[in-house]
Structure formats: structure tokens, C-alpha cells
Amino acid sequence: MTVTQPPLSHPDAWWRDAVFYQIYPRSFADANGDGMGDLSGIIDKVPYLESLGIDAVWLSPFYPSPGVDAGYDVANYFDIAPEFGTLDQADQLIAALHQAGIKVVIDLVPNHTSSEHEWFRQALEAGPGSPERERYHFRYSDDGMPNNWGSLFGGSAWASVHELTGKEEDRHWYYLHLFAPEQPDVNWDHPDVHEHFEQFLRFWCVRGIDGFRVDVAHALVKAPGLPDDDVGPDRWQVLDPDEEVEKQPDSGPAFNQPGVHEIYRHWRAVLNDYGEDKLLVAEAWVEPASELANYVRSDEMSQAFNFPFLKAGWDAQAMRHVIDETMEANAAVGAPTTWVLSNHDVVRHATRFGYPCGTDIERGIGPDDPQPDEELGLRRARAATLFMLALPGSVYLYQGEELGLPEHTTVPPEARQDPSWFRTDGVVRGRDGCRIPLPWSAQGPAYGFNETGQSWLPQPADWGRFAPEQQDDSASTLLMYRAALALRARLSLGRGELQWVEAPDGVLAFDNGEHRIILNVTDEEQSIPATGSVIMTSWAGVVSDQDADPCRWDTDTVTVPANGCVWIEK
């Protein structure tokens, strides 16, 4: 069966098959030694980024912020946080990346501001019923919370205004926050909100930004009247594996309302003032795929993250199902599909795959939890990555995965920073383990993250073994990524088509043009019909003409080892 991509609405767009690399600025590289990464640190590493062979970077938020949710609580959308640098340095970084042929995508956080944003301060100051409060969702209720919504970080989605201001007039007033109380949701029925984010797009386009990753893109518009939902106030608990009713945390009247699409159509028109190829990518946890595809219709966003692929697990059937479903849904609206295995919100895939398939680790991992099989996890992660890189469409990588970095699974409770840890009394371990500052050298202070040894999250003791300087043999994870990215580009795999090939249970095989890709998701070696020569493997990296073939062949059958992936030139 062939899953065709065309006709695409934007067949020539640069992002159609681009490989994006997510930089989480606070954990990438720290030039000033304060324990928090910064823009100068990223500038220093542009040659490294160039050597990876990526097409674009996506920078997680770098705006002034109290940092309650690691920068996703923005206090000023038109500046750079002092701990990260200055607007001048942002300009330098954009120029340096462009010079290296790398596009720059930044994070846009439109669902909520920080409670330190001037709008929210003005709203608190101005009091009940004031126009200033109209920019957020303030509600009066003398009978408990205004509705039953829960925060995605735990607890109610409503916070008491009276507790903040201490003013009598604020008694029984609440404001809405789908995330932390320090992240009040803005009211997208208010013209100022529309105006503000349009200005944001224009401000950063003028500075040369090539696109925007839109945070919680499915939550901006709420159902009129904010009716109760059927998830209830313990929204985070729906992830409880023992819960009998399957519910989606991101469902109900706070999510995926039809009105969001009007916003994105308008943004598309605004961005078209700066050229037709500005990227908008949706972070939208929306199912099914056909519903998510509405975000990437030709006059809305360019792409949406393919989270079902990330969540499919080490399960051949589930992966194939997601690939078919998402490619078909996107093809129906003329959009290319994206692929992703890791980001700053989920357990790193080198660790996820180190657990038996189906193990529930969505809440994160702590020192008292069962620990993964690290070797198996990495072997499978490399195979999954190689498989993903051969799929048509575009790919999102997360900093450190090219080093084979696992999750830090034993972050001590006293070092935890994620608000979900605090708001659930530690039941949700949180996302700190995937956000640990990178190791740039085998030894030395903070493994080369900086020169002082400070680090906003603790690095594990053996972090240095993942440093780039430790990975100079061709079988290393870093060199596998580099070689695979180079080949992917040379062979135009991202612009190809996928044609499934029959394979035994637990094996996925497809042709993309002149190449056959085989992924063995089982724990035993598997033989699959194929002819030609192996050009890449997930265990030995690139295979050159002089190398002996790393696979066993029996005339027209190739044997792929357990948890391995190969690329074959037919």
C-alpha cells in the first residue's frame, strides 16, 4: 500500500522536509557560568549545530519570566530574559544561525501570560469589573470554584484573587489558569489580546525569525460560558493507569474549540506580509488525527507535532497504525506529516524504550521508581530514530538525543523544579529529568556546560560519557545521527513516498524511492526479503563501500538483528 503525500498545498516550502533541532536554552550551553544556559552559549555552539546537518532550530522561550514553568510563563514578549542575554545577542544568534544556513523558529506562548506580566498586575490593581480584568478570565463565585475544571499541573484551574491581593472586594473572585496559578489564561475574546500577539509576530519577523512554535495551540479559545467538563477537577489524575474510565486530559470545553482556527487563519495572513514560507507549528494534543489535521489546512498552520507517533511506544503495529493514520489525515488537507520522539515535556526516548512496552511512565521517573534497561533503551532509540529519519515529512529532534542522552531518572526531590511535582505532592515526578544541562566534555566543571560547575538542575555523575568528544567512532550515536541526517538530505527521503512492504510480525518495512527501510521491533533477529546493499544501520552507523556488510544475507533475504534498523539501497 502506498501512502502518498501530494498534492501538498505548499510543496516548495523549506519546512516540508526540514529537520528541526529543539534547543532548550536554559540547558544547552552556559557561557556566563551562572548555571543557566544562555544565548552566548548557543552562539558558541553554532559550528556544532552546523556539523549536525540540521535545517532549523526551535528555541524554547527566552523571554523575561519569573521561571515558574521554565519560561513558559512570559512576563514580556518583546525582550530577552537577562539571564539569557539581550536583544542584541538574539540578533547576533539569528545572524550566526542564518550564516550557517540554519533557520530559526521561536516559541510563542499565547494561551497564558505570567502573573508578572503588566496586564495581570494592572488587572489585580484595577479590581473587580474593571476593563483591565477583561483581558483574563476573572469570575465571581460564592459557592466554590466557578466551574469544575482542573489544572493540567494538578489542583483546580481556578485561583483565588483575594489570596493574592488581600482586598475585601476580591473575596469570592477567581481567575482561570489551565497550568500553574502563575500562568493566568488570557481571554481571546478581547481585542487587545489579538492585537498583542499580532504585534509579537511582526516584532520577531522583523528581527528575521523564520517561524513560530505555538504553545498549547488547542487551548486559546474556551467554550462560551465556561461550562463544566466531564474530566473533573483532578485533570492530571486521568493519567492514572488504575483509572477505569479512559479520559483525555486535554479534552472538554477548554480545548480544541472551533474558534481557534480563525486565529490561525489571521496569523497566516499576518505572516504572509513577511513572505509565504514563515512556519507555524502547532503544539496541540488533539485526537483523532483528522481533527488535528484541521490545524494544518492550507490557510492556517504549516505543521503540527505528531504526538501520537511519540506515544506509539516500541510496538510495530501501533507505530504502523499511527504512521498510516497521520499521513492520510494530513494528505487529506495537503499538509506534510511531522515526526518526533522526544521533547522537553516527555521522558527521553532512550529511556522510554528501556522499559517493557506499555509500562506507564507518563508521570516521569523518580529514584524510587523501577529503573530502565539503559542499554536496551539506547539500542531501540537509535533504531527508532533511524526509522523516523527515513519517513517522508519533517522531523523534530530534541537537544541531547544525538548524544544518546537518557532521562535523569533519579533527580532528588529537593532538586525538582517542575510545577507539576509541587502541585501533585510529588505523585507526578515531572519533566525535570529530560531537561538536564548537556554534557559538552567528558570531564571538568558541569561536564563543559559551563566553567563554574553550577547547574540549575543536577547532572548525573556519569554524564561525561555522553559528551561529543567521547563519540568519535563511526558507531557512536552522534556520528550515526550526523551520517543519517546527511544521507537523508542527499537522498531526499523527506520528500519521498512511503510504500509498505510485507514483513513478519513485529517488523516494519517500507520503500521510500530506491531505498528499503526495515525496523525490527522484536527481541530476536528477523529475516526480510530484500536485495541491494546496506547503507546505514542503527548499531554500526554508516556503511561505506569498503566496509563489510554488517547484515547477514541469504540471496534475496536480509537478516536484521533484534531491535535494529537498516537502510538498504535497492
Closest to 440 (Cα-Cα) out of 473, 410, 396, 403: 403
Partners of 57 in the β-ladder: 21, 104
Judged by CB, which is closer to ligand NOJ: 214, or 484?
214
Cα separation, 207 vs 438, whole angstroms: 28
Is 428 a binding residue for ligand NOJ by CB under 6 A? The answer is no
Query: Least distance from C-beta 157 to ligand NOJ, angstroms?
Result: 13
| Cβ contacts of 555 within 8 Å, gap of 6 or more | none
Site map (CB under 6 A) of ligand NOJ, residues 183-222, x = contact? --------------------------------xx------
- Amino acid identity of residue 271, one-letter, is L
CB of 431 to ligand NOJ, least distance (A): 7
Tell the residue number behind the cell numbers 480544541, with chain if given.
Answer: 256
Query: Judged by CB under 6 A, does residue 179 bind ligand NOJ?
Result: yes
Residue 272: which residues within 8 A CB-CB, separation 6 or more? 278
Number of residues counted as binding ligand NOJ (CB under 6 A):
9
Answer yes or no whether residue 69 interacts with ligand NOJ by CB under 6 A. yes
> How far apart are CB 369 and ligand NOJ at their closest, in Å?
21
Nearer to ligand NOJ, 417 or 563 (CB): 417
Assess 345 for contact with ligand NOJ (CB under 6 A).
yes
Half-sphere exposure of 342 (CA within 13 A, CB side): 30
Strand pairing category for 279-282 and 211-214: parallel
Residue placing its CB nearer to ligand NOJ in the complex, 210 or 215: 215
Cα 282–Cα 484–Cα 509 angle in degrees, nearest 5: 80
By the rule CB under 6 A, 116 interacts with ligand NOJ: no
306: three-class secondary structure by DSSP: coil
303 CB-near residues (< 8 Å, 6+ apart): 15, 279, 280, 281, 282, 296, 335, 336, 338, 394
Minimal CB distance to ligand NOJ: which residue? 72
Closest CB to ligand NOJ among residues 53, 154: 154
Considering only residues 462-481, where is the footprint of ligand NOJ by CB under 6 A?
A: none
270-299: which residues touch ligand NOJ (CB under 6 A)? 283
Using CB under 6 A as the binding rule, whether residue 72 contacts ligand NOJ is answered as: yes
**Helix H or strand E encompassing 183:** none
Q: How far is CA 514 from CA 289, 324, 505, in A?
A: 29, 20, 24
Position 182 contacts ligand NOJ (CB under 6 A)? no
Is 431 or 515 the residue whose CB approaches ligand NOJ more closely? 431
Q: Which of 132, 215, 250, 300 is catalytic?
A: 215
Residue 242, Cα to own-chain centre: how many angstroms? Answer: 27
Between 267 and 314, CB nearer to ligand NOJ? 267
Distance CA 311, CA 319 (A): 9
283 is catalytic: yes
* Nearest-angstrom CA–CA distance, 492 and 18: 10
CB of 70 to ligand NOJ, least distance (A): 7
Residue 178 beta carbon to ligand NOJ: minimum distance, rounded to whole angstroms: 8
Per the listing, cell 481571554 goes with 187
Choosing from 30, 283, 325, 418, which is the catalytic residue? 283
**Considering the complex, what minimum distance in angstroms separates the CB of residue 432 from ligand NOJ?**
11
Does 407 contact ligand NOJ by CB under 6 A? no
Q: Which is nearer to ligand NOJ, 55 or 283 (CB)?
A: 283
Active-site annotation holds for 497: no
- Residue 362 lies near ligand NOJ (rule: CB under 6 A): no
Q: Nearer Cβ to ligand NOJ, position 69 or 325?
A: 69
Spatial strand order in the sheet of 211-214 = 303-304, 279-282, 211-214, 103-108, 56-59, 19-23, 394-398, 338-340
Catalytic residue numbers read: 215, 283
Binding stretches for ligand NOJ (CB under 6 A): 69, 72, 109, 179, 215-216, 283, 344-345
